[in-house]
Amino acid sequence: MNRESFERVAIIGGSMAGLFAAINLQALGFNVTVFERSKESLANRGAGIATHDQLYNALRSAGVTPTQEMGVKSKGRVLIGREGAITEKQNMRQIMSSWGLIYRFLRAQIADSDYLTEHELLEVNVINKEKLALRFKNGSSIEADWLIGADGMNSTVRQIVEPLSQPEYAGYFAWRGLINEELIDQDLRKQLTNVITFGLAPAGHWLGYLVAGENDAIEEGRRWYNWGWYRHATASSLRNHLTDRDGRYFENGIPHHLIRQSLITDMQQEASLYLAPQIQKLINLTKHPFLQGMFDVSCEKLIHGRIILIGDAAFTARPHVGLGVSKAAEDASTLAKALYSKKRKDALKRWENERKRYGQATIQWGRDLGSHIKPIGYALEADNKAEHYSSPEVLISQNASHDPSKFLAEYL
Ligand SMILES: Cc1cc2nc3c(=O)[nH]c(=O)nc-3n(C[C@H](O)[C@H](O)[C@H](O)COP(=O)(O)OP(=O)(O)OC[C@H]3O[C@@H](n4cnc5c(N)ncnc54)[C@H](O)[C@@H]3O)c2cc1C
């Protein structure tokens, strides 16, 4: 038997990074188990994912053959001004996929016996140089030779190994929505099909596009329209938005049904001041807008003995870069190769250096892309960077681009 089959790898987090790691490590013969804290399937998280070659390559290396069915085709991008006319246009062919669709493809590659839900990691103890003991909230505990922390932005694993590396609030959040396409009138639907639509308001931009609907349907009439509106907000305003009418504060995200109606009404009123009538219509059609704070996460080290961080647990960049899933995939596939290497120690060192550099580059690019999201009244024209990233041409070409590697190259 080879070395890998004796080694037990515990992966914490069964989302994108965890699944990519499990698939790649199992393919190389490691004995892998994924531990996910959620009870229900993660497929319903519902978010649009912009695809590009990097993501397709990552999927192929995980044994998923990408097809046209990966999402909804878009031919280009438009910016619509306050009065409703197109003020900037670009051709950019891209398939807009969805989080759930990609998740389901990946999840299908892992046997249920190797993917344990309702396993929230609480504690890790180092038994010796080669063995770890893990304890879960449900009372179970296991031993493992390696632990991979793929548990996202608020990673428990990162808090254990690097408690000082905390998410840093970006100074804005995103209102988000998903609308059943059927609810949108034919005229507006025609304008929205085949394009990613942008709007530019003071204090943050808006973007929206069609994605696969329920059961991954991509036929006309069964898709969803996915939108996000970035809004500048102080930390106390974010806290206010994450507090329900009973005064309960949801630090890690408020369930959509608990968001106060007055905040939604304020948001709709702001939209009527700053955004095109078509965009206002979409916002008003959204039954349950939800919101999400924007944070940057960096860490000092990815490897802490036999504990390794990947995906958003290691570096979380703002969603403008559209690289979270492919970064998670690349972290995972290159880590699997390093662990499999005959010269493992050197390979892991190289892996850590390369992935840190890449993670830091995505964070810096994300910061730049968000640099124009400032309070209402801020003079963007007096701030070179903010002015550059809010210019129509840059805004619509760089956000969730079909070729992120071209822009990221500047930061590497
Ligand atoms: C608005 C928005 C738009 C985005 N758009 C794009 C895009 O277009 N393209 C793109 O590539 N990326 C996009 N992203 C980013 C992408 O969704 C993330 O980068 C990606 O999901 C990260 O995967 P992950 O597995 O590292 O972390 P996560 O998806 O956060 O998963 C972490 C998992 O760990 C589990 N977990 C947490 N703690 C524990 C614990 N203690 N024990 C057990 N399990 C635990 C959680 O339940 C969760 O399932 C977007 C993100 C946002 C917010």
For residues 163 and 200, membership in a common domain is answered with: no
For residues 205 and 338, membership in a common domain is answered with: no
Residue 228 in contact with ligand 1 by CB distance below 6 A: yes
8 pLDDT above the threshold of 80:
yes
Average pLDDT in the 184-204 region? Answer: 95
Which of 11, 12, 15 to mutate for ligand 1's pocket (most ligand atoms within 8 Å of CB)?
15
Helix (H, G, I), strand (E, B) or coil at 306: coil
Over pLDDT 70: what percentage of the chain?
A: 99
Domain hosting 199: range is 72-95+169-295+383-396
Strand order in the sheet with 290-296: 48-50, 86-98, 72-80, 195-201, 204-211, 224-232, 168-180, 290-296
Atom of ligand 1 nearest to the CA of 19: 25
Residue 237 in contact with ligand 1 by CB distance below 6 A: no
Instruction: Yes or no: say if 118 and 42 are a contact pair by the CB < 8 Å rule.
Output: no
Which residues fall within 8 angstroms of residue 379, CB to CB, at 6 or more apart?
A: none
Residue 84's H or E segment, with its range, is: none
Distance CA 130, CA 146 (A): 8
Residue nearest to atom 17 of ligand 1 (CA): 324
41 pLDDT above the threshold of 90:
no
For residues 178 and 251, membership in a common domain is answered with: yes
Confidence category of residue 68, pLDDT binned at 50, 70, 90: low
For residues 147 and 260, membership in a common domain is answered with: no
In a domain, 26, yes or no: yes
For residues 285 and 320, membership in a common domain is answered with: no
Candidates 113, 90, 141; CA nearest to 32 is 113
For residues 8 and 153, membership in a common domain is answered with: yes
- Who has greater pLDDT, 255 or 48? 255
Over pLDDT 90: what percentage of the chain?
A: 85
**Ligand 1: centre distance to CA 18 (Å):** 10
**Ligand 1: centre distance to CA 412 (Å):** 23
**Ligand 1: centre distance to CA 24 (Å):** 18
Residue nearest to atom 53 of ligand 1 (CA): 319
In a domain, 136, yes or no: yes
In a domain, 335, yes or no: yes
Residue 343: the pLDDT is 96
CATH code for the domain in which residue 338 is found? 3.50.50.60
Confidence category of residue 98, pLDDT binned at 50, 70, 90: confident
Residue 164: the pLDDT is 96
Residue 161: the pLDDT is 97
**Ligand 1: centre distance to CA 276 (Å):** 31
Residue 1: the pLDDT is 59
Which of 34, 49, 320 to mutate for ligand 1's pocket (most ligand atoms within 8 Å of CB)?
49
Task: Extract the tokens encoding 62.
Answer: 């995980």
**Ligand 1: centre distance to CA 324 (Å):** 8
Residue 100: the pLDDT is 86
Atom of ligand 1 nearest to the CA of 14: 49
Distance CA 157, CA 87 (A): 46
Q: Which residue matches tokens 């206010």?
A: 240
For residues 358 and 391, membership in a common domain is answered with: no
Q: Which of the residue ranges 53-57, 65-69, 156-160, 289-293 would you say has the lowest mean pLDDT?
A: 65-69
Atom of ligand 1 nearest to the CA of 317: 19
Q: Which residue matches tokens 């080694």?
A: 7
CATH code for the domain in which residue 191 is found? 3.30.9.60
In a domain, 137, yes or no: yes
In a domain, 314, yes or no: yes
Query: Based on the structure, what is the number of domains in the chain?
Result: 2
For residues 249 and 279, membership in a common domain is answered with: yes
Residue 325 in contact with ligand 1 by CB distance below 6 A: yes
Which residues fall within 8 angstroms of residue 179, CB to CB, at 6 or more apart?
A: 224, 225, 227, 282, 285, 286, 287
Q: Which residue matches tokens 């990233």?
A: 389
In a domain, 66, yes or no: no
**Ligand 1: centre distance to CA 157 (Å):** 15
For residues 327 and 193, membership in a common domain is answered with: no
In a domain, 59, yes or no: no
Average pLDDT in the 18-43 region? Answer: 93
Which residues fall within 8 angstroms of residue 342, CB to CB, at 6 or more apart?
A: none
For residues 193 and 237, membership in a common domain is answered with: yes
Candidates 230, 305, 233; CA nearest to 274 is 230
Atom of ligand 1 nearest to the CA of 156: 41
Residue 404 in contact with ligand 1 by CB distance below 6 A: no
Average pLDDT in the 289-309 region? Answer: 97
Residue 47: the pLDDT is 75
For residues 78 and 195, membership in a common domain is answered with: yes
In a domain, 52, yes or no: no
Residue nearest to atom 38 of ligand 1 (CA): 151
**Ligand 1: centre distance to CA 165 (Å):** 17
**Ligand 1: centre distance to CA 382 (Å):** 35
Return the sign of the alpha-carbon dihedral for residues 106, 110, 116, 119. negative
Residue 330 in contact with ligand 1 by CB distance below 6 A: no
For residues 10 and 139, membership in a common domain is answered with: yes
